[in-house]
Amino acid sequence: VQLQASGGGLVQPGGSLRLSCVVSEYDLDYYPIGWFRQAPGKEREGVSCFSPSDFSTYYSDSVKGRFTISRDTGTVYLQMNSLKPEDTAVYYCATDSRTYYSATYYCRDLDHMESWGKGTQVTVSS
């Protein structure tokens, strides 16, 4: 499986961006998918995940109400609204061959996500 993230950039606080991740070889109706981020000097964290096994969706507390994950054939999106400077990070998409966990599990057990795309930089600054 290959994942290719795009859509990052520089945006002012309060602005919006939409990240895209094209996923090859994996059917997103069957395999879980998630967005993760890593800010300078911080550990990578789960931002939003979706699990087809139970149709669950997870958002971290820091992005809940501002970010929305969605899927289309072969592509997963992360719509980011009301961006804050603390959202500045490299954003990654990832998937896993284990299909039976909840979205919360995938986002919190990120070290065991099997396949990762290269990140896309998001910078929120005035």
* pLDDT digits 0-9 by tens, 6-37: 999 999 999 999 999 999 988 888 999 999 99
The torsion angles phi and psi of 88, rounded to 5 degrees, stand at -60, 125
- What per-residue confidence (pLDDT) applies to 112? 87
* pLDDT digits 0-9 by tens, 78-113: 999 999 999 999 999 999 999 999 999 999 998 889
- What per-residue confidence (pLDDT) applies to 96? 94
pLDDT, average across residues 60-73: 96
